[in-house]
Amino acid sequence: MNNFQLLEYAAWGLSALLGLWILFDLIRTDRTYSEDLLNSSKEGEIEDALVIDPTHQGGER
């Protein structure tokens, strides 16, 4: 087995670990939060809530 094959197996192993982690996170998020909460935000709502100084909102003075 040469170095290229070892790197290929390492890449496949890392890919499998990342896939399992994504699957685990999907299940954990699904159990932790309701579907209504995950789909509730509207576009721009989050950015507007983060503005502390209203004079900086919308590029005004």
Q: Give residue 23's pLDDT.
A: 97
Domain limits, the chain: 8-55
Reading the block at residue 16, the tokens are 């499998």
Q: What is the pLDDT of residues 21-35, one digit of tens each?
A: 999 999 999 898 888
Decide: pTM greater than 0.85.
Answer: no
Q: Give residue 21's pLDDT.
A: 97
First to last CA, the chain: 66
The DSSP call for residue 37 is H
